[in-house]
Amino acid sequence: MPELRKDPIIGRWVIISTERGKRPSDFGVSMEKKSTKLCPFCPGNESATPPEVLAFRPDGSQKNTPGWTLRVISNKFPALKIEGDLNRQGHGIFDKMNGIGAHEVIIETSDHHKDFPNYSDRTAQDVIWAYRMRISDLKKDPRFRYTMVFRNYGEAAGASLEHAHSQLIATPIVPKRVSEELEGSKKYYGFKERCIFCDIVRQEISDGDRVISYNDNFIALEPFAPRLPFETWILPTEHYSALEDIPEKAIPDLASLLKETLKRLEISLNNAPYNYIMHTRPVDDEGIEYYHWHIEIMPKLTKVAGFEWGTGFYINPTAPEDAAKYLREVDFTHEEQRVIKQQIL
Amino acid sequence: MPELRKDPIIGRWVIISTERGKRPSDFGVSMEKKSTKLCPFCPGNESATPPEVLAFRPDGSQKNTPGWTLRVISNKFPALKIEGDLNRQGHGIFDKMNGIGAHEVIIETSDHHKDFPNYSDRTAQDVIWAYRMRISDLKKDPRFRYTMVFRNYGEAAGASLEHAHSQLIATPIVPKRVSEELEGSKKYYGFKERCIFCDIVRQEISDGDRVISYNDNFIALEPFAPRLPFETWILPTEHYSALEDIPEKAIPDLASLLKETLKRLEISLNNAPYNYIMHTRPVDDEGIEYYHWHIEIMPKLTKVAGFEWGTGFYINPTAPEDAAKYLREVDFTHEEQRVIKQQIL
């Protein structure tokens, strides 16, 4: 019997189609290949990108020249533009405003052939540091009400370049998906005086069957009502409503759990494309009690079809308990050989 | 400058990235091909499908045998199952219930090589009639609160079989996307005492630049804040909140405008995959004043990436005014030759 499950935060129902019970190998997603055409994100091609807004340069090299290990630039084709006023306007029943915002690209490594699951600890931590530094900077702009980090991996997930990168966007409005989470969690807090995400973490640790792994400060789990097969969340086990609020000493734990989780997904799902996004509080809501910073990782295994478009709820062919079991039991032993083989190819 | 536009019904913002200004030919979506492997939806293969729940049989032939021109069956792999109780349950903060519902497939034609844009008027009208008849029947089941028709065309839009078909689902809950529209339009009605969709139709006819075409009873237009390039809506110009409420004499107008609009999209977008969905009122809300039945057609030209997943708002590279212009100016003159060429290939 299929099961309807309700997301406790925003109230979205999903259909867990347990009888389809899809295993990782059933999705038939093919391995992404690394091409060798000229890459604007590689060292030496700095002039092909907009100038950098931040770079980690251990060798003290000059701006916009090689020598960096991580580099942040404005998006060459930004969805939103940094200069101008909002200029809110109405036309009859319609409302519009200028698309003001920031859209930056975090080039996470200078190595074209590395990606997150295979980063050194230092590189993984640097990525998190870059997110924090750019968010803190963009928050100073009074036009922006929200900042969101996201990462598209693989062409099917919307990545137009294969060199490892993530993106950061600052928007003049709080996005709808976030507003829904804020409203839902605020309502819960009003009723229980507890953060709903904290309650979820507690119940998941006690239930156990949707947990993938955890360390001292963070947990990786499959949510109770996932939209997509192998949808995976990472949350701090303590309450923090923004990445910038998390103590510096916990960053290594976040970087290593994110890296490990992406590695588990990579092995289980044959290097499938995915998106991850980071949900934080709005800029103006300092340290709120009811909202909990987290990462949502969404592997691209199924197609969003008419049913999902029309209803806003999702048919998920893999129960999260099964997905968590696959991901927990990933066999890392042959991993080293696999990586070597890939490099030879 | 990109433009942020707000959907007046549910308040979703979209980014109209006018500078990207994508034309139909820029999307590079390839033509879908018709394969010739055994098709369970073709006449003679009736035993490969669940038994029919409705069929149009002009020759008076037997159930589940050839002779039909249109056939409705239960989905062999239903997202929701027809038998059982809802059995609502809680587990800590989590809620679930059995996935009860109906999931039917409307096999629109017996001809494997025809699709909606090339149907006869009669076939196109029969499809609409089949929707109405099945909806009216499913509404009698007290477990169901909502019925939705949808159509996936092309593999990238989620169609697993290429023989022309649409689907109908009846659900025990009102879907989230619909609830949002209901809430938004109810709020507007409370304030203005007018249906927001009726106001939109009036303003669009007066503005003109987003209208594709219309006839005595229906209009096809690009919405002011479309999520996707070439997203197209069809609405009755008079107020009706459900397909079943529309007078029988208006059905030919609906069938012909739907057919014509799909033809315009087919020619403009090189036969791109698409989904369409029909939004109606909930089963219990007879003839409500504030909600307006409509069709949303969503061509599959871009990829939903991290930004869209995380924010719930969309980056659309084609302004709806431009899309409407392309669709209005479609050249039908070479169409006959194109169809013949396709049939030869």
pLDDT in tens, A13-43: 888 877 666 777 777 665 555 666 789 999 9
Residue A165 is among the residues annotated as catalytic for this protein: yes
Alpha-carbon distance B313 to B292, whole Å?
23
Show Cβ contacts of residue A255 under 8 Å, excluding neighbours closer than 6 positions.
Answer: A121, A124, A125, A127, A128
* Residues A303, B157: C-beta atoms closer than 8 Å: yes
Structure tokens at A164: 């490892």
Alpha-carbon distance B287 to A9, whole Å?
32
pLDDT of amino acid B123 = 98
Residue A84 at interface with chain B, using a CB cutoff of 8 Å? yes
Q: CATH fold of A3-344, please?
A: HIT family, subunit A (3.30.428)
* Average pLDDT value for residue range A62-73: 97
Q: How far is A62 from chain B (nearest CA, A)?
A: 32
- Does the pLDDT value for residue B345 go beyond 50? no
* Residues A99, B16: C-beta atoms closer than 8 Å: yes
- Does the pLDDT value for residue A345 go beyond 50? no
Q: Residues of B with CB below 8 A from A173's CB?
A: 4, 13
Annotated catalytic residue within B103, B163, B165, B292: B165
The per-residue pLDDT of chain B, averaged, comes to 91
- Does the pLDDT value for residue A240 go beyond 80? yes
User: What is the percentage of chain A residues whose pLDDT exceeds 70?
Assistant: 93
> Which region among B25-34, B242-251, B283-292, B298-307 has the lowest average model confidence (pLDDT)?
B25-34
pLDDT of amino acid B339 = 54
* Residues A306, B95: C-beta atoms closer than 8 Å: no
pLDDT of amino acid A116 = 97
For the stretch B61-119, pLDDT in tens is 999 999 999 999 999 888 888 888 888 889 898 999 888 899 999 999 999 999 999 99
pLDDT of amino acid A83 = 85
Q: Mapping DSSP to helix (H, G, I), strand (E, B) and coil, where does residue B149 land?
A: strand
Q: Residue A255, CB half-sphere, CA atoms under 13 Å: how many? A: 21
pLDDT of amino acid A215 = 97
For the stretch A254-302, pLDDT in tens is 999 999 999 999 999 999 999 999 999 999 988 899 999 999 999 999 8
Name which of A297, A293, A252 is nearest A119 in CA terms.
Answer: A252
* Average pLDDT value for residue range B299-328: 90
- C-alpha triplet A176, B290, A88: angle, nearest 5°: 40
User: Which of A157, A159, A176 faces B311 most closely, judged by CB atoms?
Assistant: A176
List the 303-322 stretch of A: residues with Cβ below 8 A of B. Answer: 303-307, 309-313, 315
8 A C-beta contact, residue A291 and residue A190: no
Name which of A194, A211, A177 is nearest A279 in CA terms.
Answer: A177
Residue A223 at interface with chain B, using a CB cutoff of 8 Å? no
Alpha-carbon distance A108 to A94, whole Å?
40
pLDDT of amino acid A39 = 94
Q: Report phi then psi at B287, rounded to 5.
A: 45, 45
Q: Residues of A with CB below 8 A from B209's CB?
A: none
Q: How far is A211 from chain B (nearest CA, A)?
A: 15
Burial B200-220 (b: 16+ CB within 10 A, else e): bbebbeeeeebbbbbeebbbb
For A22-42, give the secondary structure using H, E and C: CCHHHHCCCCCCCCCCCCCCC
* Residues B275, A305: C-beta atoms closer than 8 Å: yes
Q: How far is B326 from chain A (nearest CA, A)?
A: 22
Count of C-beta atoms within a 10 Å radius of residue B187: 14
Count of C-beta atoms within a 10 Å radius of residue B268: 20
At residue B212 the predicted structure's pLDDT band, cuts being 50, 70 and 90, is: very high
pLDDT of amino acid A221 = 98
Alpha-carbon distance B133 to B70, whole Å?
13
User: What is the percentage of chain B residues whose pLDDT exceeds 90?
Assistant: 69
* Average pLDDT value for residue range A180-205: 95
Q: Residues of A with CB below 8 A from B79's CB?
A: 2, 15, 17, 307, 315
Which has more confidence, A69 or A80?
A69
8 A C-beta contact, residue A133 and residue A176: no
Burial tier of A294 (Cβ tally within 10 Å: 0-12, 13-18, 19+): buried
Closest residue in A to B84 (Cα) is A1
Block residue for tokens 């409407």: B324
Q: Residues of A with CB below 8 A from B304's CB?
A: 158, 304
* Average pLDDT value for residue range B283-291: 90
How far is C-alpha A50 from the chain's CA centre?
Answer: 24
* Residues B298, A276: C-beta atoms closer than 8 Å: no
User: What is the percentage of chain B residues whose pLDDT exceeds 70?
Assistant: 93
* Residues B5, A94: C-beta atoms closer than 8 Å: yes
For the stretch A98-155, pLDDT in tens is 888 999 999 999 999 999 999 999 999 999 999 999 999 999 999 999 999 999 999 8
Alpha helices in A149-280 (DSSP H): 176-192, 196-207, 251-268
At residue A87 the predicted structure's pLDDT band, cuts being 50, 70 and 90, is: confident
Block residue for tokens 């696999």: A338
Alpha-carbon distance B228 to B269, whole Å?
13
Name which of B140, B118, B134, B143 is nearest B166 in CA terms.
Answer: B134
User: Which of B8, B95, B224 faces A6 most closely, judged by CB atoms?
Assistant: B95
pTM of the predicted protein model: 0.90
pLDDT of amino acid A230 = 96
pLDDT of amino acid A2 = 81
Block residue for tokens 């609405």: B235
Pick among B3, B15, B26, B95 to test the A interface (most A CBs inside 10 A): B95
pLDDT of amino acid A23 = 78
pLDDT of amino acid B285 = 87
* Residues A307, B150: C-beta atoms closer than 8 Å: yes
The per-residue pLDDT of chain A, averaged, comes to 91
Which has more confidence, B17 or A93?
A93
* Average pLDDT value for residue range A179-205: 95
- Does the pLDDT value for residue B341 go beyond 60? no
Alpha-carbon distance A241 to A286, whole Å?
8
* Residues A309, B303: C-beta atoms closer than 8 Å: no
pLDDT of amino acid A303 = 84
Block residue for tokens 């249906």: B195
Alpha-carbon distance A33 to A116, whole Å?
15
pLDDT of amino acid B24 = 78
> Which region among A192-201, B172-181, B258-267 has the lowest average model confidence (pLDDT)?
B172-181
Which has more confidence, B192 or B333?
B192
Distance, first Cα to last Cα, chain A: 44
